[in-house]
A = this chain, B = another copy of it.
């Protein structure tokens, strides 16, 4: 799976050469890495969204359904959804409202604490979740890089996630 970029056209490597030409040598690799991540994110999210399109789901809405599906009662407070998926509460609210309009979940106040809004999976949501999960799993099964590379990738960027607080407080 080696890609010879030296004799082929790569807009990101062209940008890196521009950076170096302008004397920004120190920042050039970081620029190339960030631009690469942005591009690979775009490619992979497009693959997942193509797989989900037949179910009328976006990646974000799928993740909410999937998270609810993993819980014992198919139910979670909105705040917990935002926390677990590391998505802004306003984005969760907007996605949950859309899922509710589409008849896949319901929202209601927690009977024990009226300030808490719960999102709850409806049978219709559970029904779409099974084939939607199978569809995204076909994407996940083969990303186009080897199994070892997948694990290396996850480990390589872990310090970036760590700096953003993704692993909580250090022990």
Contacts and interface: CB of A to CB of B under 8 A. Distances in A.
- Give the copy number: 2
Nearest to A162: B3
A113 interface: no
A5 interface: yes
Interface in A125-171: 133, 136-145, 147, 149-154, 156-164, 166-168, 170-171
Given A33-B153, A37-B40, A145 B166 contact: no
A71 to B, nearest CB: 10
Given A24-B133, A34-B143, A144-B159, 15 more contacts: A4-B171, A8-B170, A9-B167, A10-B167, A12-B154, A29-B150, A29-B151, A30-B143, A32-B154, A37-B37, A38-B44, A38-B45, A43-B164, A144-B163, A153-B156
